[in-house]
Structure formats: C-alpha cells, structure tokens
A = this chain, B = another copy of it.
Amino acid sequence: MTGKDKPSKPEPSHKDAAPAGLPGDPRAFAVMTEISIIAHLADNLFARVLPDGLTVAQFAVLNHLLRLKKEETIGELASAHQVSQPTMSSTVRKLEDKKLVRLVPDAGDRRIKRVAVTRAGEAMRGEAVARMRPLAGELLGQIGEEDWARIHPVLTRLRILLDKAR
C-alpha cells in the first residue's frame, strides 16, 4: 500500500457508477451514488498518504482511541467502526505486532482484553495526521464552510436512518 506506481489504476470518467438509474426517486439514487464514489475515492487517497505499513483501518483505531482518550475492548471497537468482530481482532493484532497498541487484560472479566495505544502508536498517529494535513487542506478547503454546514445535518440524518435499518 505504498502507492508509488499505478499500473492498472482505473482512469477518470464518472458519468455514472454503482446503483443509480432506478425509477421512483432518481435524485436520491444519484446522491447515494455520489456518496459511494466519494467514500471510495477518499479512502484510496487517504491510504496513499498514510505512513508505510499503516492501513486506513489501523489508523482509524489509533485515532479513535486517542481522541476518546480511553481504552476499549475489541467488541466495542468493532461496533464503533462498523466491522465484524473477527475483522477488528485482525486489525488489532496487526497493530499489536507493530507495538502500536498493547492488550490490557481485564481484572474482573478474563474474557476481555482492552486495547491501549502505546507511545509508538501515538507517534505513528501523529505522523499520519501530519501527512494528511496538506492534502486535506488543499482538497477540503475548496468546499466552503457553509457548504459543509449545509450538508452535515442531512448526512447525519441519513446515517441514522440507515443505521436503524441494519
């Protein structure tokens, strides 16, 4: 995931993509399509600027724990990040292999291990944030603050609707 070369990368051209084109509510489908493409593009772009060996999923876990300033179980992390428990187990193990987190056993419940970010983990997250800052400023800065504010509440409502329908 170093992203130096790009041999078989898909080329621009987004007249359309995923769902879309359904009868009934074309605009809603068009918007969902845009959202799908945006998520995909942002994810790829993000992956390219991350420090070597750190995936988006791994960064997200470090960032989550450091933002909340607390330790969480694998199950809690899986819920928060919308992935299955085995997937989060795998992500956490990779972070552990790199010494970016350590697993703290729970005193009262021996099934549980809480994930704690190490110093090295903090440093790695700091580097990741530093690397994405220019890209973020350049790109996201081109959308005005008022536009972000305009779309934010609608997207939150949509996310809550979809979340309830799971």
**How many Å from the CB of A85 to the closest CB on chain B?**
5
Q: Is the CB of B10 within 8 A of A163?
A: no
Interface string of A19-52 (1 = CB under 8 A from B): 1111111011111101111111111111000000
A79 surroundings in chain B (CB, below 8 A)? 10-13
Please judge, given known A-B contacts A41-B159, A63-B19, A166-B45, whether A137 and B36 are in contact too, CB under 8 Å: no
- The answer, yes or no, to whether A98 is at the interface (CB within 8 Å) is no
Interface residue tally of chain A, by bracket? Answer: 35 or more
- The answer, yes or no, to whether A70 is at the interface (CB within 8 Å) is no
Q: Is the CB of A22 within 8 A of B133?
A: yes
Q: Is the CB of B41 within 8 A of A162?
A: yes
Q: How many copies does the complex hold?
A: 2
Please judge, given known A-B contacts A28-B136, A161-B139, whether A40 and B38 are in contact too, CB under 8 Å: no
Q: Is the CB of A82 within 8 A of B41?
A: yes
- The answer, yes or no, to whether A151 is at the interface (CB within 8 Å) is yes
Q: Which residue of B lies closest to A67 (CB)?
A: B21
**How many Å from the CB of A73 to the closest CB on chain B?**
12
- The answer, yes or no, to whether A64 is at the interface (CB within 8 Å) is yes
Interface string of A130-166 (1 = CB under 8 A from B): 0011011101111101011111101111111111111
Q: Which residues of A are interface residues toward B (Cβ below 8 A)?
A: 8-25, 27-32, 34-46, 56, 59-60, 63-64, 67-68, 78-86, 129, 132-133, 135-137, 139-143, 145, 147-152, 154-166
